[in-house]
Amino acid sequence: MRTRIFTFTLSIFLCAIARAELKWEQTAVELHPTAGDKEAVGHFKYQNTGSQPVRFKSVHTSCGCTVAQSQKEEVPPGEKGEITATFKIGDRTGTQVKNVTVETDAPNHATTVLTLKAVIPQELEINPTFVFWGQGEALKSKSIVVRASKDFPVKQLKVTSSSPDFQTKVEQTGNGQFKIDVQPRETTRAIAAKLVIQPEDSPKVFYATVSVTNAPATQ
Amino acid sequence: MAEIAKVKFAWRIMDLVVGGVFIYAGVVKAFQPVRFASDIDNYKILPWTISVGLAFYLPWLEILCGLALILRRLYLGGLSILTALVLIFSGVTIAAKVRGLDITCGCFGHASQNWSFSGHLALDLVILAALLALYFKVTSENRLQNAV
Amino acid sequence: MRQALVLAALALLPGIGQAIYFRDKVSWQSPIPASEMVTVAQARAWDGNVIWVDARPDVEFERDHVPDAVPLNEDRWNELLPQFLATWSPEKRVVVYCSSQSCNASREVARRLRGEAQLKDVFVLQGGWEEWLKSRK
């Protein structure tokens, strides 16, 4: 009986001290890619502070736009490593938050959620990005408001239409603020155009779409 | 005697201020429950369904407890609940900061979205201090009365 | 303790009342407002008045997609948006889908269509592509 109690207690003690644990330097990383960057890469560093090796069971992301990779499959005790999360920016805007879920065989914290936050700079805010007229609608111009962000001062804006069916006029309405007045030549048929909006002295271009739709104008 | 009356008046003012703060906080959140549910969800602690339930329930709990303080009805119950709420709010705000989450919701829902983390926490702690002061005052008064 | 329980119980009444009042504005299952989500059955019932928008990456769209769906993802938003808008007209309803209920892409695309392009009648498909596949069987 005493031997059993001793063995039981010893095994509990051994389990308690023989732990596997992954300690993360940080579980949330905030990135500030510059305009023109195609990707934002976050590094999540960890260390095995336990006495048992830790094996990664899976590393998966919350969306197809983020790819996460672990340097190692198994982390020996005391070893360090990192998980790299690469977020494809594409044409995304604003603050993007993507999660990476890491599953290990460590008894405490078997699952850890790493958060990658990317603040994508938005040089111009275009509102709205789509303007349309119904067929037969009155030939009146409609406006698109363009606001430059404080970090990207814009003195002049160049707007070109991909089709001569739409005329555009740009007016500066304030510091870094512009109004684009657009008018179609006619609203008797379906026509469309892409407006290319380019700040002066900047290679970056922005877009808006204008069209006369197939459907008649609604009152 | 006049001194005692002044002290009593001061405590009463504290009741009114603290109660008023919670009624205001509750009303702000009660007007936009869907937004409040998103704010709770942003802490990434609870499932969405629970966040929605709390978003509909918590503002009214705050309003009723604030009224309890002002009207001195169910006073101790109101005080206990508000103290627990502030402790929980402070705890999750600190946890969110540690986890690097972008949190705009403190006690006052979206009305406080432009406040900093330290601003949120400072207010939470001031309110907590006031609640604890009121709590200890009431419990020591009750003990004195029971002793008499 | 008793007082706290009384207050807690009293607060349930207006809370439940408000939950009933807002039942159409919020989905208890998902963060997307109930009024912005549609089931496959609802979308099919709209028949010819629907534009299906596939918010998944290009490679998934090419593999398979809802018949006549238009690709529109955030990887190539600037290139794909004008192509989508060329198919749109005000009487049509837009239904955006992506890989599954947990994928955020359809919500983001729907949000940008409502916010940036200011389109009305933009919905997210409940259950996403998986739900569509199930309905095909």
In this prediction, residues B16-27 reach a mean pLDDT of 92
Q: Is the fold of A21-120 the same as that of A124-216?
A: yes
Cα B116 vs. chain centroid, distance in angstroms? 18
Chains that touch C (3 or more CB pairs under 8 A): A, B
- B74/C3 CB distance under 8 A: yes
CB pairs under 8 A between A and B: 16
- In B71-110, the residues whose Cβ lies within 8 Å of chain C are 74-78, 80-81
| Chain B CA closest to residue C25 | B34
Residues of B in contact with C29 (CB under 8 A): 48-49
Residues of C in contact with B63 (CB under 8 A): 11
Cis peptide before A203, with omega less than 30 degrees from 0? no
* % of chain C beyond a pLDDT of 90: 50
In this prediction, residues A89-113 reach a mean pLDDT of 84
Provide the b/e sequence for A167-181 (b: ≥16 CB within 10 Å).
Answer: ebeeeeeeebebebe
Tell me which of B102, B104, B113 to substitute to probe the interface with A (most A C-beta atoms closer than 10 Å). B102
At residue A219, the pLDDT reads 46
Residues of C in contact with B34 (CB under 8 A): 22, 25-26, 33
pLDDT tens digit sequence for B79-117? 999 999 998 888 887 776 666 554 544 444 444 444 456
Indicate the helix (H) or strand (E) that contains A90: none
pLDDT score of A17 more than 60: no
DSSP-derived 3-state class of residue C21 = helix
At residue B92, the pLDDT reads 80
At residue A163, the pLDDT reads 94
State whether residue B3 sits within 8 Å of chain A by CB.
Answer: no
pLDDT tens digit sequence for C88-129? 989 899 999 998 655 788 988 999 999 899 998 999 998 889
Instruction: At A76, list the tokens.
Output: 């020996």
- C105/A64 CB distance under 8 A: yes
CA distance to partner chain C, nearest, from residue A126 (Å): 8
Helices C2-21 & B75-98 angle (0-180, nearest 10):
60
CB-CB contact of B96 with B103 (8 Å) = yes
Fold held by A21-120: Immunoglobulin-like (2.60.40)
Greatest alpha-carbon pair distance for chain A in Å reads 98
- C116/A88 CB distance under 8 A: no
Dist CA B68 CA B77 (whole Å): 8
pLDDT tens digit sequence for A192-218? 999 999 998 788 889 999 999 987 766
State whether residue A41 sits within 8 Å of chain C by CB.
Answer: no
> What's the 3-state SS for B94-129?
HHHHHCCCCCCCECCEHHHCCCCHHHHHHHHHHHHH
The CATH homologous superfamily for domain C28-136 is Rhodanese-like domain (3.40.250.10)
At residue A150, the pLDDT reads 83
Domain ranges of chain A: 21-120, 124-216
- C6/B60 CB distance under 8 A: no
CB-CB contact of A166 with A180 (8 Å) = no
pLDDT tens digit sequence for A20-35? 688 898 888 999 998 7
Instruction: Mention the CATH class of domain A124-216.
Output: mainly beta
pTM above 0.90, yes or no: no
- The sign of the dihedral angle between the CA atoms of C15, B50, B85, B109 is negative
CA distance to partner chain A, nearest, from residue C61 (Å): 13
In terms of Cβ atoms closer than 10 Å to its own Cβ (0-12, 13-18, 19+), residue A218 is exposed
Q: Parallel, antiparallel, or unpaired for β A206-216 and A130-135? A: parallel
At residue C67, the pLDDT reads 92
pLDDT band for C36, please (50, 70, 90 cuts): confident
Helix/strand number for chain C, H first, E second: 6, 5
| Chain A CA closest to residue B45 | A113
Residues of C in contact with B56 (CB under 8 A): 15-16, 18-19, 22
Indicate the helix (H) or strand (E) that contains A204: none
CA distance to partner chain C, nearest, from residue B78 (Å): 6
- The sign of the dihedral angle between the CA atoms of A25, B116, A127, A180 is negative
Dist CA C134 CA C101 (whole Å): 14
Provide the b/e sequence for C5-15 (b: ≥16 CB within 10 Å).
Answer: ebbeebbeebb
At residue A200, the pLDDT reads 86
In this prediction, residues B14-33 reach a mean pLDDT of 90
Contacts of C47-50 spanning 24+ positions with Cβ under 8 A? C49/C91, C49/C92, C49/C93, C50/C92, C50/C93, C50/C94, C50/C95
- B52/C5 CB distance under 8 A: no
In terms of Cβ atoms closer than 10 Å to its own Cβ (0-12, 13-18, 19+), residue A139 is exposed
| Chain C CA closest to residue A196 | C78
At residue B8, the pLDDT reads 85
At residue A107, the pLDDT reads 76
DSSP-derived 3-state class of residue C73 = coil
pLDDT tens digit sequence for A172-185? 998 889 999 999 99
